[in-house]
Amino acid sequence: MNSMKSRLVRASALTWLLVIPGLAGAQGDRAIMMAARQRQAAQLEARITPRLPGGLPDLSGSWNSQDKIWSDLNPSADAKGNICYTDCDPVAAAAKATAALNNLDRTVAGATPHGNFPDYRPEARARVAALQKDLNGTDPYLHNCANPGLPRIGPPSYIAQTPRAVVFLYDNVNGNYWRIVSLDGRPHNADADPSPLGDSVGHWEGDTLVVETVNFTPDTWLTDYGAIHTADLRVVERFTRKGDAIIYQAMAYDPAVLAKPWQATGHILTPAPGKLQPAAECIEKDMSKMVNEAYHPNPP
């Protein structure tokens, strides 16, 4: 799941009562907002690309991503403290969730409600299908304050760039995360422990920063809906600065479970006003308190 960039509101000091219905019913509003962001990005891309001494594009700064659609939604709360972002009628939301899951069952490891899902090898599809039977219970990102992993975390919120390395900072709903990417030609660190964000090295191809990451733990997902991977996952990210925008793409390679490489949904990064703010403390959520069973996918 590309990464959700907005913190949910705390309902009470003792429990979380959340209504986070799937966004499948909000396609119209999402399309309008996405179109507006793309128009803005086109204007930014037409500007002169800032460069560092030596000619490389300057990626430094705070960045907004088109997946920050959650920041454009206003949560509402009822008398019981239940919080809702979209599709706030529980009966209607439950019906949409049921319809989405029925469709998911018919197209396991193929099309999903959010439209971009990895193509799995036949022997991996049973495991994916089992996870999809209870997404609220099996998705560690929803309630365990877990690191979402790569590429699910999406693009960074802040980039610090030097000639020898870049640093990526992430303001994520589950906490603050960071990565240091060497640019000096060194190989991957063979002694590094596996981690959700792996071990990264990078190089420049023209105006594009290419980052290769390996050495992952196998307990994260590539995206929502049980998109598993193995410890042999390799992710290649591409950051291309055009004017005042960055085009972000990520490709996942894991032939042990994937029938073919999977390209995550791309992002257009635009300059973010203000200073980078630390994320609020993540609080583990009791999913048994969900008002309905709608699985909440992240915006693509």
Residue with tokens 């006003």: 273
What confidence tens digit (pLDDT) does each residue in 243-254 have? 989 999 999 999
Report residue 179: phi and psi, to 5°. -140, 145
Mean pLDDT of the chain: 77
The structure's pTM equals 0.73
For residue 266, the SS3 value is coil
pLDDT above 50: residue 146: yes
- Residue 8 in tokens: 């949910």
Provide the pLDDT confidence category of residue 197 given band limits of 50, 70 and 90: very high
Strand runs labelled E in the chain: 18-19, 61-65, 76-77, 83-84, 158-161, 165-172, 175-182, 199-205, 208-214, 234-242, 245-253, 262-263, 267-271
pLDDT above 60: residue 127: yes
State the pLDDT at residue 26. 45
Pick the more confident residue, 62 or 8: 62
Provide the pLDDT confidence category of residue 105 given band limits of 50, 70 and 90: very low
Pick the more confident residue, 76 or 242: 242
Provide the pLDDT confidence category of residue 14 given band limits of 50, 70 and 90: very low
CA-CA distance, 10 to 16, in Å (whole number)? Answer: 7
Tell me the mean pLDDT in the region 258-278.
86
Handedness of CA 118, 123, 125, 131 (dihedral sign): negative
Provide the pLDDT confidence category of residue 119 given band limits of 50, 70 and 90: very high
Percent of the chain with pLDDT over 70: 62
Report residue 253: phi and psi, to 5°. -120, 120
Would you say 125 and 109 are in contact if contact means Cβ atoms under 8 Å apart?
yes
State the pLDDT at residue 174. 83
Closest C-alpha to 16, from 196, 282, 298: 282
